[in-house]
Chains A and B, each alone.
Chain A
Amino acid sequence: MMNRLFWIFCAALIAAAIHFAYVLFVPGMEMNRIMESFAAKNGRNDLTLLGPEEARALLSSNLPEMVTAACAFDAVDEPITIDAIIPDSYWMISVYGANGALLFTLDDRQAGVDRMRFVLKPPGQAAEQPEADTITVETPDGSGLVLLQARAEEPAYGPRLRQAMAVSSCGPRQAPGEP
């Protein structure tokens, strides 16, 4: 009897360990897969406009009205700057950490300006003194994924929004357009 109880206890222990390992490790592993796959296709520290299928794969819904751009960033060696042009329609930035956690999000109304700068850096890393309309986001591992989304209320606005997204930038530079 005691022998059987012992083996049942061992099975329960292993079940609990597998359960928690799956729940705790799957988000980081899956986020790593997403970032690696994105970086292999589009490079790191570079903002890329996503096609509808790519956007649908990353997000939880089919939103053809949304223009989506993403940047897999690596701020381990130096801070990464996102210079965002904010259009006159619904707009949102989301910063995800390497474990898949959403670290920061802001929409156009909360921003209240038409251009904004975001500095991404790991804790403790030196960064330039923040200027006006600049927000510093600390990322625990120094890497992650940034999503910029804007809504084209009418299909005709789509190209204009894509242009605005294309002017936005992600990388270790100080201002859009600078070499």
Chain B
Amino acid sequence: MRTGLKIAGVLLVGGALGLASAGNRLSDNRALENGPWRIWPARVIPAASPYTLAHHLRHGRLPADASQSVIFTAANDSDGDALRASCDYLISGPMPPVRWWSLGVESGSAPLTSGRVVLGPDGTFQARMSRFAMPGNWLRSPDRGRFRVTFALFGPGGSLKDRPEKTELPQIRKDGDCQ
């Protein structure tokens, strides 16, 4: 009886530890970092690591290869604070050399895309992210709660394909006080 309880306990504890460690290992916290952006190793051809495959597919999403597209996500701003609908943000900085890009709020409104934004005289990009309409390039954030931003770059060139964590990307900073 006592041995049976011990076996059950070991199975329970071992199983819980195994699932928790797998969940932690596959979370965005283990992705490569580039400022506020996170990316999993983006080279999946000729072979992706089992962790990279599991990271994408456990949410039912197919992995992409960096030879075609590089997809960053951000759940925090450049200061490390969670992105919140109650704050306005300024997204600004240089754009890497790509054929086209798309910057959008996950499960949100229409994204900003290259070709449909106004760039500065020096080619830098600047957009405001807010739930309220803003002049210039405006990315609408959700009405409430925390959210994530996806930055998808297609036809990447240069070091972006192989070292996406080292490429200079736009930063996300709070624009004024949060409400």
Neighbouring A residues of B48 by C-beta, 8 Å: 101-102
Q: How many residues of A contact B (CB 8 A)?
A: 48
User: A102 touching B13 by the CB < 8 A rule?
Assistant: no
- Give bound CA distance, A94 to B63, whole Å: 10
Contacts of A102 in B (CB 8 A): 44-45, 48, 62-65
A155-172 near B? 1/0 per residue, CB < 8 Å: 000000000000000000
* Cα A11 to Cα B58 with chains together (Å): 25
What's the least CB distance linking B31 to chain A, in Å? 12
Is there an interface contact between B17 and A15, defined as CB atoms closer than 8 Å?
Answer: yes
Q: Confirm or deny: A23 has a beta carbon within 8 angstroms of a beta carbon on chain B.
A: yes
Residues of B within 8 A of A153 (CB): 100, 115
Do B106 and A23 touch (CB < 8 A)?
Answer: no
> Judging by beta carbons under 8 Å apart, are A19 and B10 in contact?
no
- The residues of B that contact A14 with a CB separation of less than 8 Å are 10-11, 14-15, 17-18
Q: Known contacts being A101-B47, A102-B48, is A22 close to B54, with CB within 8 Å?
A: yes
Q: Among the listed stretches B21-29, B88-96, B158-166, which one makes contact with chain A, having 4 or more residues with CB under 8 Å of it?
A: B21-29
Question: Is B53 in the interface zone, CB < 8 Å from A?
Answer: yes
Q: Is A10 an interface residue (CB 8 A)?
A: yes
The reply on A18 being an interface residue by CB < 8 A is yes
- Expressed in whole angstroms, the Cα–Cα distance for A7 and B14 within the complex equals 10
Find A62's partner among B13, B18, B150, B154 (CB 8 Å cutoff).
Answer: B150
Query: Is B71 a contact partner of A60 (Cβ separation < 8 A)?
Result: yes
- B137 CB within 8 Å of chain A: no
12 contacts between A and B (CB under 8 A): A18-B15, A19-B21, A22-B54, A23-B26, A23-B54, A30-B58, A58-B61, A61-B106, A100-B56, A100-B62, A102-B45, A107-B155
